[in-house]
């Protein structure tokens, strides 16, 4: 967390000496470091000098009218250009309010109309300080998520989808909100859960993880709630459950979609009432922790099939976090390869400096159905079987060596741009509605015979992807499994894309014809 007593350094630009002195005394008495300047030129030079010295001004107070025909608007523009996160407060004389309001549209935080009193000044400066503190905290947490290790793993990524995920994690970490992490197998759902826990106020409390799919149905209730002595065969002593062990920490429920239906009702009660009891006991115990759940399953489909409770879904899905599959952030592959080589190389006693361009090209062309976990396993295998200081194509697994390299040339190929485990849709497709037309046809023709020549007018990737899916479905007579094989993507990914592009399922088409 940011320090509660943190205050921004303040730069004051005003041509009136008495005004500068008053402002300086008031803000210094409030605990701020303050420097004053009489001209726009000296203020700008002071701002740039402080930034170079590593002691930047985070807050600027400037008069709207400055000597020599210059304006505080000029300083506002230059400050925002050099340091977008800095806040600028304009001071205006009576009659200049309209100009000040206009300046706020250019990025000014607030304006103070002269003469202003001490309370008004401190209130506005306090509001700016609060905003600056939140920005600094989000940035700190984002760096923590992106750069720090937690529980032996590290989240790597410079791609836009990962940057959005890092921002979301940083914000969620500062709350006690229940959240649901969704992503395909191998994307790193537990890493996200750990980042949420260790980036927030509960970081000094326990992080307790339980895989709902890995524990037998007969035991999972006892694992979660605990039990009293003698409540079932083998219960030779009382035992606390995960809800007790977590205390005020974070309980991570992985593969929540695999939890049996009747147990879901009991979990719902814990979330709603914040209390539970051990098996064989009527004594209610308070639950003080936070729940973070994760799934690779299509929960919407599970709800439709009465395998998952809709009310529990809404309780868990307060803040949804989607982890992009590796094929949707291929630009992160070089970073991941570098990191995995270093970590696994040290563990295996291999001093490997990198991979050949051919290996990297093969990695970027492959669709990675197993995501980052598959990439880790692949590199570990290559480290064990390969020779030399650089991993070569000789050590590549057959399925990666034989992956069509044309995918990389086509920007990853629309067919590989599938979404994560939140895939939703129904099985079997009879027809397509939506993205086609002349431009999509031109895109499809551009990919004929594996040439992937870019059309002169360029492409719209979503239209190209929708057209390719439509053609695959036509060729497979509306069956998802063979269509997914034609496209080189998973069954779940194709289901998701069918829903995204509003394609009609076979069942829907049949119902439509009956009507």
Q: Domains in the chain: how many in total?
A: 4
Does the residue 121 lie in any domain?
A: yes
CATH number at residue 18: 3.40.50.2300
Of 424, 425, 439, 418, residue with least CA distance to 493: 418
- On whether both 273 and 293 belong to a single domain, the answer is yes
User: 63, 73 in Cβ contact below 8 A?
Assistant: no
- On whether both 354 and 243 belong to a single domain, the answer is no
What pLDDT does 189 receive? Answer: 94
- On whether both 185 and 126 belong to a single domain, the answer is no
What pLDDT does 420 receive? Answer: 33
Of 399, 393, 479, 392, residue with least CA distance to 431: 479
- On whether both 341 and 194 belong to a single domain, the answer is no
- On whether both 133 and 159 belong to a single domain, the answer is no
- On whether both 499 and 358 belong to a single domain, the answer is no
Expressed as residue numbers, the domain containing 71 is 10-139
- On whether both 213 and 309 belong to a single domain, the answer is yes
Query: Does this model's pTM top 0.75?
Result: no
Does the residue 3 lie in any domain?
A: no
What pLDDT does 498 receive? Answer: 83
Does the residue 54 lie in any domain?
A: yes
CA-based R_g, the chain, Å: 29
Q: How far apart are CA 344 and CA 446, in angstroms?
A: 41
Residue 57, preceding bond cis, omega within 30 degrees?
no
Does the residue 1 lie in any domain?
A: no
CA within 13 Å, CB half, 168: 16
Of 261, 291, 322, at which residue does a domain stop? Answer: 322
What is residue 34's three-state secondary structure?
Answer: strand
Given the DSSP bridges, would you call strands 390-391 and 354-355 parallel, antiparallel or unpaired? Answer: parallel
pLDDT digits (tens, 9 = 90+) for 355-370: 998 899 899 989 999 9
- On whether both 187 and 334 belong to a single domain, the answer is no
Does the residue 18 lie in any domain?
A: yes
- On whether both 182 and 242 belong to a single domain, the answer is yes
What pLDDT does 308 receive? Answer: 95
Outline where DSSP puts E strands in 52-197.
Answer: 59-63, 87-92, 110-113, 149-150, 153-154, 179-182
pLDDT digits (tens, 9 = 90+) for 81-92: 888 889 999 888
Q: Positive or negative CA dihedral for 298, 302, 305, 309?
A: negative
What pLDDT does 447 receive? Answer: 44
- On whether both 399 and 419 belong to a single domain, the answer is no
Does the residue 194 lie in any domain?
A: yes
What pLDDT does 40 receive? Answer: 87
Outline where DSSP puts E strands in 80-150.
Answer: 87-92, 110-113, 149-150
Identify the segments of the chain with pLDDT beneath 70.
Answer: 1-5, 67-71, 94-103, 137-154, 405-459, 492, 504-515
- On whether both 176 and 275 belong to a single domain, the answer is yes
Does the residue 99 lie in any domain?
A: yes
Of 268, 303, 322, at which residue does a domain stop? Answer: 322
- On whether both 183 and 312 belong to a single domain, the answer is yes
Of 263, 287, 322, at which residue does a domain stop? Answer: 322
């Amino acid at each position: 967390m940011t320090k509660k007593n943190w205050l921004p350094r303040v730069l004051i630009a005003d041509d009136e000496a008495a005004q500068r002195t008053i402002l300086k005394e008031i803000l210094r008495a409030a605990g701020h470091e303050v420097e004053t300047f009489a001209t726009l030129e000296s203020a700008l030079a002071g701002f740039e000098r402080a930034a170079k010295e590593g002691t930047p001004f985070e807050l600027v107070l400037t008069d709207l009218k400055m000597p020599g025909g210059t304006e505080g608007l000029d300083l506002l523009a230059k400050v925002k250009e050099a340091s977008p996160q800095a806040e600028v407060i304009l001071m205006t004389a009576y009659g200049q309010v309209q100009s000040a309001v206009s300046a706020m549209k250019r990025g000014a935080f607030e304006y103070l109309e002269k003469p202003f009193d001490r309370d008004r000044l401190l209130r506005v400066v306090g509001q700016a300080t609060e905003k600056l503190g939140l920005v600094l905290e989000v940035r700190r947490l984002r760096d923590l998520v992106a750069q720090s290790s937690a529980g032996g793993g590290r989240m790597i990524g410079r791609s836009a989808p990962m940057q959005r995920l890092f921002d979301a994690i940083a914000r969620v970490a500062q709350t006690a909100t229940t959240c649901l992490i969704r992503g395909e197998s191998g994307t790193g759902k537990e890493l996200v859960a750990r980042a949420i826990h260790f980036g927030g106020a509960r970081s000094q409390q326990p992080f307790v993880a339980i895989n709902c799919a890995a524990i037998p149905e007969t035991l999972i209730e006892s694992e979660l709630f605990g039990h009293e002595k003698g409540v079932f065969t083998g219960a030779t002593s009382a035992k606390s459950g995960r809800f007790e062990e977590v205390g005020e920490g974070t309980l991570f429920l992985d593969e929540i979609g695999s939890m049996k239906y009747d147990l879901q009702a009991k979990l719902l009660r814990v979330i709603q009432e914040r209390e539970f009891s051990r098996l064989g006991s009527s004594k209610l115990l308070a639950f003080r922790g936070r729940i973070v759940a994760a799934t690779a399953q299509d929960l919407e489909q599970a709800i439709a099939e009465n395998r998952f409770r809709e009310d529990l879904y809404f309780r868990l899905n307060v803040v949804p976090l989607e982890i992009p599959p590796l094929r949707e952030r291929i630009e992160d592959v070089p970073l991941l390869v570098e990191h995995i080589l270093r970590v696994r190389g040290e563990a295996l006693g291999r001093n490997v400096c990198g991979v050949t361009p051919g290996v990297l090209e093969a990695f970027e062309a492959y669709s990675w159905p197993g995501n980052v976990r598959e990439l880790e396993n692949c590199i570990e295998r290559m480290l064990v079987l390969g020779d030399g200081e650089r991993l070569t194509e000789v050590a590549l697994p057959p399925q990666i060596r034989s992956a069509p390299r044309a995918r990389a040339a086509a920007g990853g190929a629309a067919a590989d741009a599938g979404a994560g485990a939140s895939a939703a849709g129904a099985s079997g497709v009879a027809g397509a509605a939506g993205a086609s037309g002349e431009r999509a046809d031109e895109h499809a023709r551009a990919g004929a015979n594996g040439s992937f020549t870019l059309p002169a007018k360029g492409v719209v990737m979503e239209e190209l992807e929708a057209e390719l899916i439509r053609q695959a479905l036509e060729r497979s007579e509306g069956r998802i499994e063979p269509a997914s094989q034609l496209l080189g993507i998973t069954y779940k990914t194709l289901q998701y894309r069918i829903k995204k592009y509003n394609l009609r399922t076979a069942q829907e088409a049949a119902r439509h014809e009956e009507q």
